[in-house]
Amino acid sequence: MQEKNFHNLIFKSTRIFGASHLVKVGTKVITNKIAAIYLGAVGIGIIGIVENLLSILFGLVNFGLTSSSVREIALLNYETEEAKAKESRMISIIYYWSLFSGFLGAVFFVLISYSFFKNTYPTDSSYLWFVSIALYFVFFALFSARMSILQGKREINKMVQIQVVISIIQMLLAIGCYYFFGLNGIAIAILFTAIVSFLVVYFSTKNTIRVEKNNLTLKQVFSEGLPMVKLGIILSLGTLINQLAFYVIRLFLKDFLSIEALGVFQVSYTVLVGYLGIIFVVMSNDFYPQLCNLESDKPTFEKYINDQTQFALYLVVPLVLLMYLIAPQLVVLLYSNSFLDVLLILKIALIGLIFKTIAWPIGFISLVKGNKKLFFKQNLLSDIINVVCSVVFTYYFGLKGLGMAFALMFLVSLFYNFFTVNKNYNFSYSTETKRIIVLSMVIGAIALLSFNWFDFSYMNPVIWGLFILTSIYAVVKLKNKIQS
């Protein structure tokens, strides 16, 4: 029996989601440029810390429904009428729980908003606009519920269409708000983006995702949704701790260095997670639900993870090298000369993306298997390392310490994740995957060593050579894999 090749499937889903996320990144680039012009480093820093706070609160009150609901929907067998009825009931339960979490988030935000506002915003800013963000939680919770259901059902085209429309609207709203309202526009843009996002996804899915009463009582909604929520709470704790980790780092930078340094950190975070992290976002849209479907077939399950790891490295390694060549010009183009200190962070942090690419696919194994404790431990370890190393390394090495912490976090996560999944599920990489992993790490090490002799710029001949070779190699290998 011929072994199934997943590269073609991965390529198709990556291509589809990649198109929408390229639009998303493009609109984000324009938005950040406008923010840099009209709000400056202080405004960029405030945007980062406000978004961080919202992520923490949403992670706290959402019970991990955005992830656990994907798993529940993906595991259903749609070939039977019983499963279709179960899906209808499950959708209603997810929706009601999401609505409750949205109102809970709004209440929590109102309670802490004044103290946060006074410690973050300049004195001439409007608290009234800031506290109105409370409504964001209600609309974003309902938006997330519908998007999670679409992801679980693997309705890729519908998700892509929605993401493209929302990205464009979000950009236009943010630009208008920053231009007309300055720092107050940050809160206004967040609120109206959440409202519009919900309206777009609602009218796009009202015929396919119907929230029916199904004669459900509150007791039934609670009891039948509780297993999903129990898994979700572990996931939400992981997300919450992750956001708390970055929040602690941001507070440390603000107090130990300056609000401008916070802006520089936000730019590095945007480049590493918002722009380059597009690969992980794109792949996770289809990788996670597909992995859930393959969970009971161990050989196919492991083959899919191996193929995903190879595919991701073929994309990420050349992209990291390209960023080493163009980052100085890109930072000036996207922001301004005042943000060039971000290069101190990126010099080492970019290597961390290679480690993340290897650690990322195997990090899903414990989640798919329903091992909540192991998944939580994996994420907790990386967050602890991130906070401790960021604070200690920044204290001794300045901004470049943040890059060191980022790389070390994913290197340790890689070894720990592999050790745990190998021990608990007897997972192993194929010989080919091991070879590609070792080659990728060697290339990353050579690139980093080249800065002992050459600058971080497009004039680095070592990086140019590595970029050309890895690009050709990746294109040839992917072409052969996809066509086989």
Residue 59 lies in a domain: yes
264 with 168, same domain: the answer is: no
CA-based end-to-end distance of the chain: 15
182 with 155, same domain: the answer is: yes
Residue 22 lies in a domain: no
Distance CA 242, CA 425 (A): 25
Report pLDDT digits (tens) over 161-189.
Answer: 888 889 899 899 999 999 898 888 899 99
Q: Choose the final residue of a domain: 224, 256, 288.
A: 256
107 with 175, same domain: the answer is: yes
Report pLDDT digits (tens) over 372-412.
Answer: 778 778 888 888 888 888 889 888 888 788 888 888 988 99
| Cα–Cα distance list, 472 to 156, 317, 464 (Å) | 30, 12, 12
252 with 262, same domain: the answer is: no
Residue 300 lies in a domain: yes
Mean pLDDT estimate for the chain? 81
428 with 305, same domain: the answer is: yes
Distance CA 228, CA 94 (A): 9
246 with 101, same domain: the answer is: yes
Side-chain-side CA neighbours of residue 360 (13 Å): 25
Residue 1 lies in a domain: no
Residue 9 lies in a domain: no
Task: Identify the domain containing residue 412 by its residue range.
Answer: 258-484
Residue 144 lies in a domain: yes
Of the chain, the percentage scoring pLDDT greater than 90 comes to: 15
Domains contained in the chain, number: 2
235 with 269, same domain: the answer is: no
Residue 24 lies in a domain: no
- pTM of the predicted model, to two decimals? 0.69
300 with 396, same domain: the answer is: yes
Report pLDDT digits (tens) over 405-437.
Answer: 888 988 998 999 899 888 888 888 889 999 999
Q: Choose the final residue of a domain: 197, 224, 256.
A: 256
Distance CA 329, CA 37 (A): 17
191 with 249, same domain: the answer is: yes
Report pLDDT digits (tens) over 317-335.
Answer: 998 898 888 888 877 777 7
**DSSP string covering 183-216, please?**
THHHHHHHHHHHHHHHHHHHHHHTTTS----TT-
pLDDT of residue 78: 55
Residue 207 lies in a domain: yes
Helix 278-293 vs helix 156-181: angle between axes, to the nearest 10 degrees?
150
